[in-house]
Amino acid sequence: MQKKEPKILVCPLNWGLGHATRIVPILEQLNKQKFDVWIAASGDSLIFLKKQFPELNYIDFPNYKVKYSASNSQVFSFLIAIPKIILGTLKEHYQIKKIIKDNKFDIVISDNRYGLWHRSAHTIFITHQLNIKLPKSLRVFEPTLKIIVWRVINKFNECWVPDVKGENSIAGELAQPSSNLKKLYFIGLLSRYKNRKREKSKEKEIDVLFILSGPEPQRTIFEDLICNQIGNNRQSFALVRGTTKRRTQTYSFPVYDLLDSEELLSLINKSEIIVCRSGYSSVMDLITLNKKAILIPTPGQTEQEYLAEYLKNKGTFNAVDQNEFNLEKVIQNVYNSFDEEKYNNDDSLNERIMLLKEK
């Protein structure tokens, strides 16, 4: 008898679209290998993935929602979110037990959802944050948090890190491995555009493309800031809002809410400069497509602040804080500097997926 392919459930976190977009190459490869693929997601991530992969089966699987502050500091928001995160993780752990039992999943791939490990399935955790950065006032708790996070990660059968080791690392200290972490695999950069054609010679139609993402209210604050600064600027602009939330601005340039990967790629190919958050998924896409960019970290989001500073100091991209953002100034100092071939020729992900056939 022909061996039946494993039944796989893929579950991204719904904090912005980054976790949903970066699992696109995983889903494409799983489909290519004829796995029985299901997706469990919620919110904009669910909407995006249904548009991207309409042929797959879906489970509406909400995750805990963390409210961000409108201020530049997220310390208070972080502290009041801790109980919600703990309870949410426990809740999704017991939910996944029932989902696995009812649907007979063999494998569960979790992108940053810490509660989705279980003994009745082969579970895989995806993260670039092996070492989580806390706000400066809470940094004394980082060693304790690190131990807790590592213990949870070790409950999974595997941990996939979307990065490369050594001096070419994109995540820097965030993805620094430890001997305390078991079954750790670096799978190279995860970008939905890894195998897409890039149009390098085509004349650019858009001078600056803004791509927004991430949690509210900071996403809207940055959108308002952009619209207010564009004014009567004679350059050509376009904005991807990255949300289905109702529009509150009147725009004098092309604006899009949620786009699938091919629609967004078309806009990126037409654009000279990209302005976006320093979310890890956005950074991986920019490197894959070899684009010039300005990174604007979400205020108070320590991971993005670290990535922006790290990549700026490394000379990879320019970056500026949101409260210092000045459109006229930043577009005068935009660059990229990296060897894209070092990232685009990595087959580590395909190797890990092929091994799943044995599960």
Q: Annotate 188-207 with three-state secondary structure.
A: CCCCCCCCCCCCCCCCCCEE
Tokens of 220: 């809207």
Q: Which residues contact 231 (CB under 8 A, 6 or more apart)?
A: none
From 326, 275, 267, 330, select the one nearest 297 (Cα to Cα): 275
What are the residue boundaries of the structural domains of the chain, listed by start?
7-192+345-358, 206-341
Tokens of 84: 């919600």
Is 7-192+345-358 assigned to CATH 3.40.50.2000? Answer: yes
Q: Give all strands of the β-sheet with 122-126 in edge-to-edge order.
A: 57-60, 36-41, 7-12, 107-111, 122-126, 158-161, 184-186
Q: How far apart are CA 359 and CA 356, in angstroms?
A: 5
Task: Select the CATH number that applies to the domain covering 206-341 from these four: 3.90.1150.10, 3.40.50.2000, 3.40.190.10, 3.40.640.10.
Answer: 3.40.50.2000
Long-range CB contacts (within 8 A, 24+) of 310-316: 310/172, 310/173, 311/170, 311/278, 311/283, 316/170, 316/287
Q: How far apart are CA 47 and CA 169, in angstroms?
A: 31
> pLDDT per position in the chain (359 positions), as tens?
455 788 999 999 987 788 999 999 999 999 999 999 999 999 889 999 999 999 999 999 987 766 665 555 556 566 666 777 788 888 999 999 999 999 999 999 999 999 999 999 999 999 999 999 988 888 898 999 999 999 999 999 999 999 998 888 999 999 999 888 989 999 999 999 987 755 654 678 999 999 998 778 888 999 999 988 987 777 899 999 988 888 877 788 899 998 888 899 999 999 999 999 999 999 999 999 999 999 999 998 899 999 999 999 999 999 999 999 999 888 888 888 877 777 776 789 999 999 998 87
Domains 7-192+345-358 and 206-341 share a fold: yes
pTM score of the predicted model: 0.89
